[in-house]
């Protein structure tokens, strides 16, 4: 089965990574391989790319898409462990790292991450290494825990009602096993005046479950400082996020690196002695152009932020 994924903000990613011959790069989230392929077109001769993905299907697919294997290192793993991955492959002298935090079309269609297709409620990126899937969470977590997931990771206004509806179904021995089951539970939970906006609530609930299943925010928080530390001086870190929770984490991390001083604002002068470690290259996040949106509507929520190590 073809692993489909259209790279988002590809031109902009390459522009901010600025690859040159002989430089080494890390693609922390290979996906369909669009970024990796473009980097390899620009860092030859002599450059290499270490491409990582938690989804083994992505790696297997890309093996058939690329011919210059000697410049490419593939690794099945979690980008939260990027330091260990790089060390294990003795991959050094890194000029840039990119991470696309979005989903591939393949994952949306075949892992139960979209309410628009009838699929088993799975949502795992790593089918081998992860044991808890969305079905387990929905059928085992208590009401308070479900509500917290929906509220914190989905920012859903009706989190309490939806969690209560799910618990009510379980009390009637009605389990949730497919995306259509969850979608119907969401529709039934919403107050009548809001049922026509069920798709919006479903989008947020599915996002929240996916984040919980894959520990996405924890992994991102672990990845960012490790990735930045791995860069050469003048090395660049580029991150493409797809929802406000991710973007906020990236923005705050970049701001902290660029600020340096952590003294309280009431101090008349700096006493901490901390200097800026990076310079933000994107004063505002880069978003898809009208042309890209027309070509790929799923790119709409994408935001690119970049920083250079100093």
185, 214, 243 — which closes off a domain? 214
125/68 same-domain check: no
181/261 same-domain check: no
Using alpha carbons, select from 249, 231, 309, 230 the residue that is nearest to residue 277: 309
Show the tokens assigned to 118.
């009838």
The tens-digit pLDDT sequence of the chain (310 residues) is: 566 667 899 999 999 999 999 999 999 999 889 999 999 999 999 999 999 999 888 898 888 777 666 899 999 999 999 999 999 999 999 999 999 998 776 777 778 898 988 999 999 988 887 889 999 999 999 999 999 999 999 999 999 999 999 999 999 999 899 999 999 999 999 999 999 999 999 999 999 999 999 999 999 999 999 999 999 999 999 999 999 999 999 999 999 999 878 788 888 888 888 889 999 999 999 999 999 999 988 889 999 999 999 9
Nearest-angstrom CA–CA distance, 156 and 202: 9
Does the residue 3 lie in any domain? no
How many domains are contained in the chain?
2
> What CATH number did the domain enclosing 146 receive?
1.10.150.170
Nearest-angstrom CA–CA distance, 145 and 207: 16
Q: Give per-residue pLDDT as tens, 137-161.
A: 999 999 999 999 999 999 999 999 9
Q: Give per-residue pLDDT as tens, 71-81.
A: 999 999 999 99
- Which residues constitute the domain of residue 129? 115-214
164, 195, 214 — which closes off a domain? 214
Instruction: Count other Cβ atoms within 10 Å, centred on residue 215.
Output: 16
Nearest-angstrom CA–CA distance, 222 and 81: 8
Q: What's the pLDDT at 46? A: 94
Distances in whole angstroms, Cα of residue 246 to Cα of each of 52, 107, 233: 19, 19, 25
Crossing angle of the two packed helices 143-154 and 159-171, in degrees rounded to 10 = 150
Does the residue 86 lie in any domain? yes
Q: What's the pLDDT at 99? A: 97
95/122 same-domain check: no
Q: Give per-residue pLDDT as tens, 269-296.
A: 888 888 899 999 999 999 999 999 999 8
Does the residue 1 lie in any domain? no
Instruction: Count other Cβ atoms within 10 Å, centred on residue 268.
Output: 6
77/220 same-domain check: yes
Q: What's the pLDDT at 1? A: 52
221/91 same-domain check: yes
57/83 same-domain check: yes
224/210 same-domain check: no
Q: What's the pLDDT at 129? A: 77
169, 189, 214 — which closes off a domain? 214
Q: What is the DSSP string of 108-164?
A: HHHSS--TTS--BS---S-TTT----HHHHHHHS-HHHHHHHHHHHH--TTHHHHHH
Q: What's the pLDDT at 68? A: 61
Does the residue 135 lie in any domain? yes
Nearest-angstrom CA–CA distance, 167 and 188: 13
Q: What's the pLDDT at 146? A: 98
Nearest-angstrom CA–CA distance, 117 and 113: 9
221/186 same-domain check: no
pTM of the model: 0.91
182/255 same-domain check: no
206/291 same-domain check: no
């Amino acid at each position: 089965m073809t692993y489909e994924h259209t790279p988002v903000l590809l031109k902009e990613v390459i522009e901010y990574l600025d690859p040159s011959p002989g430089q080494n790069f890390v693609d922390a989230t290979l996906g369909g391989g669009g970024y990796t392929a473009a980097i390899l077109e620009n860092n030859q001769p002599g450059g290499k790319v270490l491409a990582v993905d938690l989804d083994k299907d992505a790696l297997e697919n890309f093996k058939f898409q690329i011919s210059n294997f000697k410049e490419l290192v593939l690794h099945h793993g979690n980008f939260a462990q990027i330091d260990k991955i790089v060390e294990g492959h003795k991959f050094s002298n890194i000029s840039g790292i990119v991470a696309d935090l979005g989903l591939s079309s393949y994952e949306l269609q075949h892992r139960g991450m979209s309410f628009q297709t009838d699929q088993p409620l799975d949502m795992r990126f790593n089918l081998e290494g992860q044991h808890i899937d969305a079905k387990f969470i929905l059928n085992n977590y208590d009401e308070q825990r479900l509500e917290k997931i929906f509220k914190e990771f989905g920012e859903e206004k009706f989190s309490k009602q939806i969690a209560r509806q799910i618990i009510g179904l379980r009390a009637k021995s009605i389990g949730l096993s497919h995306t259509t089951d969850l979608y119907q539970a969401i529709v039934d939970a919403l107050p009548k005046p809001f049922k026509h906006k069920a798709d919006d609530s479903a989008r947020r609930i599915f996002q929240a479950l996916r984040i919980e299943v894959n520990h996405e925010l924890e992994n991102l928080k672990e990845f960012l400082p490790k990735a930045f530390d791995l860069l050469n001086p003048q090395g660049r870190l580029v991150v493409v996020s797809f929802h406000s929770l991710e973007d906020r984490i990236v923005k705050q991390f970049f701001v902290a690196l660029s600020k340096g001083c952590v003294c309280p604002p009431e101090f008349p002068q700096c006493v901490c002695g901390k200097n800026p470690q990076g310079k933000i290259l994107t004063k505002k996040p880069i978003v898809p152009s009208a042309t890209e949106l027309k070509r790929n509507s799923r790119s709409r929520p994408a935001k690119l932020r970049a920083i250079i190590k100093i």
